[in-house]
Structure 1
């Protein structure tokens, strides 16, 4: 927080106003991955509702457990058919040892993104959310996250935000961009 306040006084004012924010962390890589897939293109509230329903109706969110359900059973928790198929396929891929989520802890960010985006239904944004919320990487600011971009626009009073501007702000935030992301999310919903 101190570093960001020094590096960017405008963000620093928002940090002072908002105070210390807590970030939600999901250290279990598989459940974090499933949660991120659920959360694609829906509100955080809707994702939380589906997540709770999955836990109640399907039980523990593990690759072994979810690979035993049909896509229809997974879909019945309130997600699209495509997401249900992808979650089931991801569970099977992990369960069959085709991708080790444990190995991701020791890899650089871009390699983690490359491995995760090889899974069905996992794009760059989803991989970046895992970097941030599961692997707790320090410098993740996702261009693909609409709320982060909206937060930047509000914070800096911009009508438009292009990728070059976004990248300049990210350079200011480095090497603690993940903290900036958390503040930008909150700012976007103010």
Structure 2
């Protein structure tokens, strides 16, 4: 079984001080939580597969499938997985739709139809445009790659239900419009990704 390399999203006092200054409400939450670590998967392909597995399922379910994939296939690389069928991938516990998407993406990469390495040279919007051209990849998945893999500094995803829930809990809102969300996102810029890390923590905190 391979061990997928992970690390923590890198941030420090610059980001925390800026967010606290710009938004005292978020600043209070930052002080209350202390440092929140966010694990990231630096390899884009590996992170892409993990994020597809996690679409519309719980973290626990996604991690179960993820563990089975590593146990079954070893290294999660395009070249290694290319030798397996979509049925073999699906047998790890995901839907056939996800398995086919992963298989199709693997083929595009191995056959030279999609260049993952170029993504690191592109802007956030260009990365999203490239990724959503792949089967099964929508804007939310692309934004998660930006934050949870590429460590881009200013990602706050409207499409992430937990981030929206955390925003409502933080500011005591019954409803949250896209316009309100965009105003908060502008306030967090250029360190929106660190704000997202705290919004996730707030979202999952009990009895907040």
- TM-score tier by shorter-chain length is over 0.9
Q: Deviations over 1:81-133 (max 9, x none)?
A: 00000000011111111111110001000110000000000000000000001
The answer for the alignment partner of 2:104 in structure 1 is: 89
Aligned residues: 190
TM-score, normalization by structure 2: 0.90
What is the rounded CA distance, in whole Å, between the counterparts of 2:133 and 2:82 in structure 1?
18
The answer for the alignment partner of 2:69 in structure 1 is: 54
What is the rounded CA distance, in whole Å, between the counterparts of 2:39 and 2:101 in structure 1?
24
User: 1:69 aligned to 71, 80, 84, which one?
Assistant: 84
The answer for the alignment partner of 1:134 in structure 2 is: 149
Q: Equivalences for 1:23-172 in 2 at 5 Å?
A: 23-172=38-187
Structure 2 unmatched runs, 5+:
1-15
Q: Quote the offset at 1:45 in angstroms.
A: 1.6
SS of structure 2 residue aligned to 1:135: coil
Structure 1 unmatched runs, 5+:
none
SS of structure 1 residue aligned to 2:39: coil
What is the rounded CA distance, in whole Å, between the counterparts of 1:97 and 1:27 in structure 2?
21
The list of structure 1 runs, each at least 4 consecutive aligned residues, that deviate by more than 4 angstroms after superposition, is: none
What is the rounded CA distance, in whole Å, between the counterparts of 1:169 and 1:76 in structure 2?
42
SS of structure 2 residue aligned to 1:27: coil
RMSD between aligned residues: 0.7
The answer for the alignment partner of 1:180 in structure 2 is: 195
